[in-house]
Structure 1
Amino acid sequence: METRQNHQQHIQICFDCAAACEHCITACLQEDHVMMMRDCIRLCRDCADFCKLCGSLTARDSEFMRQFMVLCADVCDACADECSKHDHDHCQACAEACRRCADDCRRLSANA
């Protein structure tokens, strides 16, 4: 059964993931071989935007939040897959945050 506490936790997970993605973008742009980080940067940008919107939709209890959670989980998975290809600490931390968010999105969307 879904509770307000579950929603609050999910909102925090979404915004934590967005923050990890934003940090990863900034750090990737400082890397010596920034062109090799293009896909990582692109996916992190998308993921950050999706996570922020997912958190906002959950906060307002939108009628579309469950469908969006499924899409957000897919974007988080793609970002985690890309970030995990890189050895940088910021990429590994981002991948972990993305996996956590994807798992939570799927858990909540399944409890409709």
Structure 2
Amino acid sequence: MNVVQLNTGGYVAALLSLDFVDGAFRGDAVECIHRGEVDEWAFALARTGLFGNRAVAEAVQSWRDDPRSLLDALLTDADEVLRKRYDVAWQALDRVATVGSAAYA
């Protein structure tokens, strides 16, 4: 098997970005990504058949370590307005997470 080694953002952008930005704003998706719930994207990547289990696992670990990297990759083909909309949503989720973690301190 010939496994392609590409950086996480590059292959996600190439394979998934157009579908992600082609539809309506996906608030539910940005919330899941923010929480590190990336199974939807892992399954989509695995379904392409272009990458071995190890490459998919490495991508998933990368996204869990830095969820924003997945969102940025998905927004590669987005226009400036859509990028801004997702950025505002991400910032709001960051604020909620900060307030929530401060409440438990």
TM-score band, normalised by shorter chain: 0.3 to 0.5
Q: Greater RCO between the two (CA within 8 Å, min separation 6)?
A: 2
Name the one with the larger helix percent: 1
- Relative to the length of structure 1, the TM-score reads 0.32
- Relative to the length of structure 2, the TM-score reads 0.34
Query: Which of these two proteins has the greater Rg computed from alpha carbons?
Result: 2
